[in-house]
Homo-oligomer: A and B are copies of this chain.
Amino acid sequence: MQSFLSILSAIERGEVTPRQAVAKCFDATAAKDAEIGAFRTMADRETTLAAAEQASGPLAGIAVGVKDIFDTHDMPTEFGSAIHAGNRPAADAAIVAMLRAKGAVVAGKTVTTEFAFLQPADTRNPRNPAHTPGGSSSGSAAAVAAGMVPIAIGTQTGGSVIRPAAYCGVAGYKPSFRLLPMVGAKTFSWSLDTAGFFAAGVADVAAFVARLTGRALAVEPVDPSSLRIGLYRTSLWEEAAPDMQAAVELATDRAGRAGATIVEVDEPSALSAARAAHLELQNFEAAMALAFEYDNHRDRLSDVLRQNLEQGRQTTPEAYDEKRRIARRARRETGALFETVDVLLTPAATGAAPEGLSSTGSPVFNKLWTLTGNPCINVPGITDASGMPLGVQVLARFGRDRMALSVAWWLQALLGDARIGAQKQ
């Protein structure tokens, strides 16, 4: 993989120019993407290299893969749907404009599942092409995992950043809700849709978002003796594969040995209720957000999307309002959880990436935190006996993104390249 921080250092030391750093991304993509299918559209190589050469700013020399759910004025933006084939937006999404203003270039648009929902696309997992990369930010996770680009941008409505990051073995960061603008991203559910980021390691993703936003997000040293980690198993624990349970236990075990205080945290009933409310809330909003597509191009929607939109259309405003109240209560209760711990640790997914491309996996360990808006990080490093990544999720109080990133970075170092289970025959 390409490390964002290593590229910045190499540029700073004069070992590589911004143009060369970006050219390396085009070369890597040309070499690998026929097999992986991470990009839907690549930017024009020469135009982009010329832009990199002229670039100034804290992200000069950085090529970014942008999920094809964000508008780009100079590249088609198709949202993973044939309905919008060839669509050319009038303006860049706010986050794309931010990238460019800071000196980064858009290497290309990465593959998204249809409207960032569940219908799988063709992207393969770089760790094993027979497995799904996860979704919906499939191409963004794969592009980073395959070493095509140092940074990619995705979105999460259920688990679309953390899960593909976990499956592909890269760092994933879903910031606190509305830390980054969603202007110019195709809406699925406005209460849930959240921009997120992929990079080789946690320190990379933190440094990138710090430079992108001007916020104090770069990781800082953690004092284990004052760190309180909550192990958050909940009733979902049995849905995690044994390898995943072992990965989370390995993380808490090593953190405990390093001096952190580990406590078991039970799930308040308000949070279980909120997890259960996620789908109906999401679908009600999606039915409005995609009403044009449903009303005019129904036959070009996947079955799974059409069925969920129809479910959303059946939901009454009163039922939706009740789900919104449940979500508000959950946000308050989540705040209370962090009175006794600094971060929570949970599985990032139910296990390693499933074999086959017919499903992008389950967001069951992620969707509650998308609803509550807390910052979530996937910590990469652990693999199973076959070498497939097992992600551990760190989350912190709303707005305490730097805490989540710093603890995740510390954990990543503690875990190294740990392997779970016996080697397969």
Contacts of A73 in B (CB 8 A): 292, 296
- A385 within 8 Å of B by Cβ? no
Contact of A90 with B84 in the complex, beta carbons under 8 Å:
yes
Given known contacts A100-B295, A182-B190, A183-B187, is B214 in contact with A94 (CB within 8 Å)?
no
A377 to chain B, nearest CB (A): 19
In whole angstroms, what is the CA distance A87 to B214 when docked? 32
- A178 within 8 Å of B by Cβ? yes
In whole angstroms, what is the CA distance A295 to B191 when docked? 29
Given known contacts A87-B90, A317-B214, is B288 in contact with A98 (CB within 8 Å)?
yes
Contact of A317 with B97 in the complex, beta carbons under 8 Å:
no
Contacts of A92 in B (CB 8 A): 291-292
- A30 within 8 Å of B by Cβ? no
A40 to chain B, nearest CB (A): 16
Quick one: which of A75-127 are within 8 Å of B by CB? 84, 87, 89-92, 94, 96-98, 100-101
A383 to chain B, nearest CB (A): 36
Contact of A181 with B87 in the complex, beta carbons under 8 Å:
no
A70 to chain B, nearest CB (A): 12
- A355 within 8 Å of B by Cβ? no
In-complex Cβ contact of A295 among B101, B183, B187 (8 A):
B101
Contact of B87 with A288 in the complex, beta carbons under 8 Å:
no
In-complex Cβ contact of A97 among B89, B91, B292 (8 A):
B292
- A289 within 8 Å of B by Cβ? yes
- A47 within 8 Å of B by Cβ? no
Copies per complex of this chain: 2
- A213 within 8 Å of B by Cβ? yes
- A254 within 8 Å of B by Cβ? no
A161-179 to B contact mask, C-beta < 8 Å, 1/0: 0000000000000000010
Contact of B190 with A97 in the complex, beta carbons under 8 Å:
no
In whole angstroms, what is the CA distance A124 to B98 when docked? 38
Contact of B90 with A213 in the complex, beta carbons under 8 Å:
no
A181-201 to B contact mask, C-beta < 8 Å, 1/0: 111100100110000000000
- A269 within 8 Å of B by Cβ? no
Contacts of A213 in B (CB 8 A): 317
- A384 within 8 Å of B by Cβ? no
- A423 within 8 Å of B by Cβ? no
Contacts of A316 in B (CB 8 A): 214
Given known contacts A84-B90, A317-B214, is B190 in contact with A291 (CB within 8 Å)?
no
In-complex Cβ contact of A190 among B84, B91, B183 (8 A):
B183
A300 to chain B, nearest CB (A): 13
In whole angstroms, what is the CA distance A295 to B293 when docked? 31
Quick one: which of A343-383 are within 8 Å of B by CB? none
Contact of A101 with B291 in the complex, beta carbons under 8 Å:
yes
A405 to chain B, nearest CB (A): 15
In whole angstroms, what is the CA distance A178 to B87 when docked? 28
Residue of B nearest to A297 (CB): B91
In whole angstroms, what is the CA distance A215 to B91 when docked? 35
- A285 within 8 Å of B by Cβ? yes
A60 to chain B, nearest CB (A): 16
Contacts of A321 in B (CB 8 A): 399
In whole angstroms, what is the CA distance A213 to B287 when docked? 13
A141 to chain B, nearest CB (A): 25
A273-303 to B contact mask, C-beta < 8 Å, 1/0: 0000000000001001101110110000000
In whole angstroms, what is the CA distance A191 to B183 when docked? 12
Between A and B, 11 residue pairs with Cβ closer than 8 Å are: A73-B292, A94-B292, A97-B291, A181-B285, A181-B288, A182-B190, A183-B190, A183-B288, A184-B292, A213-B317, A214-B317
* 14 additional A-B residue pairs with CB within 8 Å, beyond A84-B90, A184-B292: A73-B292, A87-B90, A89-B90, A91-B292, A92-B292, A94-B288, A94-B292, A101-B291, A101-B295, A178-B191, A182-B190, A184-B187, A213-B317, A214-B317
